[in-house]
Amino acid sequence: MQHRAKKRFGQNFLVDTNVIDKIIHSINPQADDHIIEIGPGLGALTQPLLKTLNRLDAIELDRDVIPKLKTLEGSEKIHIHNIDVLTFDFTEFKQSNFEHGKLRIIGNLPYNISTAVLFHLVNHRNCIHDLHFMLQKEVVERIAASAGSNDYGRLSVMMQLYFRISPLFTVAPQCFRPVPRVESAIIRMVPRTSPAISQDEHDAFATLVRQAFSQRRKTLKNTLRDLCNTEQIDTAGIDPGKRPQELSVDDYIRLFRQIH
In angstroms, what is the C-alpha Rg of the chain? 20
Calculate mean pLDDT across residues 27-34. 98
Q: State residue 110's pLDDT score.
A: 83
Cα dihedral sign for 83, 89, 95, 101? positive
Q: State residue 173's pLDDT score.
A: 95
**Domains of the chain, first to last:** 7-191 (3.40.50.150), 199-259 (1.10.8.100)
Given pLDDT bands bounded at 50, 70 and 90, which one contains residue 11? low
What's the pTM value of the predicted model, to 2 decimals?
Answer: 0.93
For the residues of 91-125, what is the DSSP string, one character each? Answer: HHHHHHH-SSS-EEEEEE--TTTHHHHHHHHHTTG
Please check the confidence at residue 77 and state whether its pLDDT lies above 90.
Answer: yes
pLDDT in tens, 160-201: 999 999 999 999 999 998 898 899 999 999 999 999 999 999
pLDDT in tens, 223-245: 999 999 999 999 999 999 999 99
Calculate mean pLDDT across residues 17-21. 97
pLDDT in tens, 95-152: 999 999 999 999 999 888 999 999 999 999 999 999 999 999 999 999 999 999 999 9
- Hey, which residues does 185 pair with through a beta bridge? 135, 170
Calculate mean pLDDT across residues 1-28. 75
